[in-house]
Structure 1
């Protein structure tokens, strides 16, 4: 799972969740503001 976290004026935080890295990176290009792209890996996830 991929998460984009966006920090905007007025201490607002928005988070957007994506299933694939490709769609997350495409959305990341279009988001404005201070942003962070993160991959979430769960301990129980199978290694591919």
Structure 2
């Protein structure tokens, strides 16, 4: 999951969530204000599971 956190001049914090990096990067270009793009990784995600034999 990808997250954009935006800090506006009015001291308002907004957060947007995206499923893919591409979606997040496209939205990041169009958002004004101080912003941070972050990747959120959950330890219980299936893509992070290791297969043991």
Please list every run of 5 or more consecutive structure 1 residues that lacks an aligned counterpart in the other structure.
none
Q: Which has the larger radius of gyration?
A: 2
For residues 11 and 33 of structure 2, what CA distance do their matches in structure 1 show?
12
* Corresponding residue pairs, total: 47
| Deviating 4+ runs (over 4 angstroms) | none
Q: TM-score if structure 1 supplies the norm length? A: 0.91
Q: TM-score if structure 2 supplies the norm length? A: 0.83
Task: Give the RMSD, CA atoms, in angstroms.
Answer: 0.7
2:16 aligned with 1:10: no
